[in-house]
Amino acid sequence: MSSQQTEVQVVCAGVVVADHLCTPIEHIPAAGELVMADDLPVNIGGCAANAGMVLAKLGVRAAVCGKVGDDIFGRFVRETLESAGVDSTYVAVDPKHATSQSLIINVKGQDRRFIHSFGANRCLTVEDIDNALLANPRILYVGGFLILPSLDASALAERFALARKRGIITMLDVATPGPADYLRHLKPILPETDVFLPNTDEARLILGFNDALDQALAFRDLGAKRVVITRGEHGAVAVSDDLRVTLGTYPVNYVDGTGGGDSFDAGYVAGLLEGKSELDCLRLASAIGASCVRKVGTTAGIFSRAEAEAFMAQHVLDISNW
């Protein structure tokens, strides 16, 4: 499907991955030990691809902008996007690098473990995003910033500024694999960011402190218009000119947290496109994020739009002002 065939509402730019997963196992194998899993699925992954897939499930016309290798996993990524109704026009093939892949190990009662190869993601540039913006979307979402070494911070800030002048909403999510000087890369971009969506662990590595409320306020002081700090099973906090709230979580049976944050982001995007209030964007984002963790992989458990509405009608999300 090409951008010429249907209007693109959202461009999701950033990390694109082929994920190798296991259903939850009893324990990590010892050296030489064989541990059985019920299934070993191969799924699409990465912040941009996940968000695009979830948006398509919600009925949003999304395009993904990223890089893959000239290999079987690159073809898998593009074909998976296309079969889900996501525009893959702006997923470019890099002949010099393999498609990025992650091995995600789920152990019962424990957080996930990741083994990752960076691959073609290292070559995504602002020029790639320029090409995708020719689709004239209503929202530009960049996922996985800070682990995209060719995506220059100052140049991305310029693109965000130009996009906003065209009336395009700018949204930014990040990934922080370990301690580093991330703040210098964010400072030029946050004043041009309409919605900033890190999780609290990422925020801690960026800012150096733990409290999610203080994290949200700090990013607001750095210029982001709306800040939402997700906290996994502990919910989220959100702050803007008009809102300061703490959110709980919707009740679901947790199986695998992979892609939960990206799904939250996609739910927020869908709410913005529908003209929802900030609180209603947060409710929808929380419901879509909750639906993701019910099954193994980043997209298998995602609610349809009708399922999300029915779920939210049956359950109340705890929201308190602060």
pLDDT tens profile 66-103:
999 999 999 999 999 999 999 999 999 999 999 999 99
pLDDT in tens, 146-174: 999 999 999 999 999 999 999 999 999 99
Q: CA 184 to CA 214: how far, in whole Å?
A: 19
Domains of the chain, each with CATH number or no CATH: 10-27+37-321 (3.40.1190.20)
Quick check: pTM over 0.95? no
pLDDT > 50? residue 126: yes
What is the C-alpha to C-alpha distance for residues 65 and 199, in angstroms, rounded to an integer? 22
Computed over its alpha carbons, how large is the radius of gyration of the chain? 18
Mean pLDDT of 180-194: 97
Asked if the model's pLDDT at residue 58 lies above 80, the reply is yes
> What mean pLDDT comes out for the span 14-43?
94
The pLDDT value recorded for residue 300 is 82
What is the rounded distance in angstroms from the CA atom of residue 194 to the CA atom of residue 139?
Answer: 10
Residue 185 has pLDDT above 80, yes or no: yes
Segment 221-241, tens digit of pLDDT: 999 999 999 999 999 999 999
The residue-averaged pLDDT of 99-120 equals 92
Residue 6, pLDDT score: 64
- In the chain the first and final C-alpha atoms are separated, in Å, by 45
* Residue 193 CB neighbour total at 10 angstroms: 26
Q: Is the alpha carbon torsion for 308, 309, 310, 316 positive or negative?
A: positive
Report the pLDDT averaged over residues 298-318: 93
For 248-260, write each residue's pLDDT tens digit: 999 999 888 878 9
Q: Which pLDDT value is given to residue 161?
A: 98
264-295: pLDDT as tens digits: 999 999 999 999 999 999 999 999 999 999 99
